[in-house]
Amino acid sequence: MRTTAYGFSGRRLPLLASAAILAAAALHPALADAQSYPRRPVTIVVPFPPGAATDSFARAAGKRMGDLLGQQFIIDNRAGASGRIGTDQVARAVPDGQTLLWGSSGPLVISPVWGEKPPYDTLRDFAPVSVFAKIPFMLVVHPSVPATTLKQLLAVVRAQPGKLTYASSGVGGTSHLAGELFKSMGKLSILHVPYKGTSIFAIELIAGQVDMAFAGPTTTLPHLKTGRMRAIAITSTVRSELVPEVPTLAEAGLPAYEFTQWYGLLAPAKTPRDIVNTLHGALLKSMEDANVKRRVAVEGGAFAPGTSEQFTAFLELELDKNAKTIQSAGLKRE
């Protein structure tokens, strides 16, 4: 039998190569999974209770991804500690694509820069797949506020520094930081009034107990139609199809302003790239499904797909923006 310069016969080389691949797979189970992923049901951890947009989006997209990949995608609601418990669970999971995170801004880009640091690191412990969707806030005012445009509202606030108030669903939440970013970028003095939940501050705004707020479309749209609230601008970079007549804050006079609630899919760090790519393709394909589109539209959201690298860059920008907003406002966790 002829021997090659490397000491192996040409006929046995494929057998030896196959043996090497099998040995590597035995040593690295994640590598074996990448060859036939997914081989069993996949768990998507939602770090919040059922019912809200985070859960609704995960269920709709997960169902379609399961259909596309031939395995069930199971939603596991692991609520607690403002999303930290479920998020940490995925950060510690085996990186084989079987346990995923349906991530959002609170636990991933607010908690890490707000008070005591969580046990996970957003940029170190996850392999981002893609942003799924974003839901903008609407800057709304009580009808008694003499402003119908952002320019008029800024003039009213600057003429009465510290007098006007804005409501939020709680200190350190997304609606609070949306307001603080508005104050910082506009160099405004507005008094923050925190409430325990969106529904409560919406009632207070309608009653005229506070002057303005940043709230999601599902909260504001019913009251805009009745005239109990007035929309000034929207916080996304593009106008919403639900209220196309309402300008973005950026185009209305506050350049570069953007603040949204966002949702995306992440895997544990070191998940094989083949698996991340498979998940990426299935997630983006799920956005073509009629039921998934309906779920996002009901919440006033818009799809925001991108590459894994773009998601990573987005997380970096969000962490930096929120840290600066919190520092500028002098916020401290009590």
Residue 116: per-residue pLDDT: 83
Instruction: Please report whether residue 8 resides in a domain.
Output: no
114 and 143 assigned to the same domain: no
246 and 169 assigned to the same domain: yes
For the stretch 132-157, pLDDT in tens is 999 999 999 999 999 999 999 999 99
Question: Which CATH number fits the domain that encloses residue 292?
Answer: 3.40.190.150
156 and 240 assigned to the same domain: yes
Residue 25: per-residue pLDDT: 40
Residue 196: per-residue pLDDT: 87
Range of the domain at 78: 40-134+260-329
160 and 308 assigned to the same domain: no
Question: How many domains does one find in the chain?
Answer: 2
Average pLDDT of the chain to the nearest whole number: 89
The answer to whether residue 33 scores a pLDDT higher than 60 is: no
Q: What is the mean pLDDT of residues 2-20?
A: 35
Q: What are 9's two structure tokens? A: 């016969």
Q: Is 117 helix (H, G, I), strand (E, B) or coil?
A: coil
This prediction has a pTM of 0.86
Q: What are phi and psi of 297, to 5 degrees?
A: -65, -40
Instruction: Please report whether residue 116 resides in a domain.
Output: yes
pLDDT cut 90: percent of the chain above it: 81
In the chain the beta strands, taken as DSSP E runs, fall at 42-46, 73-77, 99-104, 126-136, 138-141, 165-168, 191-194, 212-215, 230-234, 260-268, 302-303
Residue 20: per-residue pLDDT: 37
The answer to whether residue 11 scores a pLDDT higher than 60 is: no
| Sign of the torsion formed by the C-alpha atoms of 231, 235, 240 and 245 | positive
For the stretch 47-79, pLDDT in tens is 999 988 999 999 999 999 999 999 999 999 999
Identify the domain boundary among 252, 283, 309.
252
The answer to whether residue 18 scores a pLDDT higher than 60 is: no
Residue 12: per-residue pLDDT: 36
Residue 334 — very low, low, confident or very high, per pLDDT cuts 50/70/90?
low
226 and 305 assigned to the same domain: no
Q: Is 74 helix (H, G, I), strand (E, B) or coil?
A: strand
Give the span between the Cα atoms of 66 and 17, in whole angstroms.
34
DSSP, residue by residue, 174-199: HHHHHHHHHHHHHT---EEEE-SSHH
CB 237 within 8 A of CB 248: yes
158 and 212 assigned to the same domain: yes
Residue 13: per-residue pLDDT: 33
297 closest CA partner among 174, 70, 135, 85: 135
CB 257 within 8 A of CB 32: no
266 and 124 assigned to the same domain: yes
pLDDT cut 70: percent of the chain above it: 89
Residue 28: per-residue pLDDT: 43
Instruction: Please report whether residue 22 resides in a domain.
Output: no
Identify the domain boundary among 227, 252, 277.
252
For the stretch 294-330, pLDDT in tens is 999 999 999 999 999 999 999 999 999 999 999 988 8
Residue 35: per-residue pLDDT: 61
237 and 151 assigned to the same domain: yes
Instruction: Please report whether residue 29 resides in a domain.
Output: no
Residue 32: per-residue pLDDT: 42
Identify the domain boundary among 252, 269, 300.
252
For the stretch 100-132, pLDDT in tens is 999 999 999 999 998 788 999 999 999 999 999
Instruction: Please report whether residue 16 resides in a domain.
Output: no
Residue 197 — very low, low, confident or very high, per pLDDT cuts 50/70/90?
confident
Instruction: Please report whether residue 207 resides in a domain.
Output: yes
DSSP, residue by residue, 226-278: HTSSEEEEESSSS--SSSTTSPBHHHHT-TT---EEEEEEEEETT--HHHHHH
142 and 246 assigned to the same domain: yes
129 and 269 assigned to the same domain: yes
Instruction: Report the phi/psi class of residue 332: left, alpha or beta, with left for phi > 0 and alpha for psi in -120 to 50.
Output: beta
